[in-house]
Amino acid sequence: MKPPSLKLRRPSRRDALKVLLSAPAATFAWTEAEAAQAVAAAQTARTAATAKPFVPKFFTETEFKLVRVLADIVIPKDERSGSATDAGVPEFMDFMMVDQPTRQVAMRGGLAWLDVECQRRFDKTFLNCVDSERTAVLDDIAWPAKAKPDFAHGVAFFSSFRDLTASGFWTTRMGIDDLQYMGNRSVARWNGCPPEALKKLGVSYD
């Protein structure tokens, strides 16, 4: 006798909101200590990712594809540097979810919210949407001051995701080069603050 097939139910908007609401508000924000930890963790995650083909420990295969697409929307490739995925940001995010399990519900709920919102508007998931459709959804949650109250949970998720993407990218050599950060350099002789800077500040040595 052939066993009955299982039909998976699509998560509803209510399901996604229940998941997001179950996450404490603190899980959407980064403290200075966590940001410092992220810097150290980024290199660890990328070193492990380059050793062999990366297999996420937290994200499902579909979630990881979504994370890669979303991270590259936040930091795309341009004439100066590669994209977030080129810098290994998705691998870094997976590492951070394992390292900080209190953030897992917020991350998974946020990714589900994106899919539910896209299904509501376009009857397809975020990954299956075209660029203009993805942009339409993200534009509604990318600007907290302009966002409608109905999108509050999406706003909280995307703000956190954007911060995590930036933390991962700008702690890599690619990100540092993108900022054109020179670091501390020795100066043979210090002649004081340049006159134009003093003028702008409205101060003088007199």
The predicted pLDDT at position 90 comes to 94
38 or 120: which leads in pLDDT: 120
pLDDT digits (tens, 9 = 90+) for 132-189: 999 999 999 999 999 999 999 999 999 999 999 998 888 888 887 877 777 777 777 8
Q: Say if pTM beats, i.e. exceeds, 0.85.
A: no
The predicted pLDDT at position 110 comes to 95
pLDDT digits (tens, 9 = 90+) for 42-52: 556 555 555 67
Q: What b/e readout covers 78-116, taking b as 16+ CB neighbours within 10 angstroms?
A: eeebbbbbebbbbbbbbbbbbeeeebbbbbbbbbbbbbb
DSSP three-state, residue 109: helix
Q: Residue 158 CB: number of other CB atoms within 10 A?
A: 25
pLDDT over 60 (residue 192): yes
Distances in Å between the Cα of 3 and the Cα atoms of 6, 7, 8, 193 are 9, 13, 16, 80
User: Using alpha carbons only, what angle is made at residue 158 by residues 157 and 159, rounded to the nearest 5 degrees?
Assistant: 95
Query: Could you tell me the two tokens for 65?
Result: 């594809």
Rounded to the nearest integer, the mean pLDDT of the chain is 81
The predicted pLDDT at position 37 comes to 59
The predicted pLDDT at position 36 comes to 54
The predicted pLDDT at position 5 comes to 41
The predicted pLDDT at position 41 comes to 61
Nearest-angstrom CA–CA distance, 118 and 114: 6
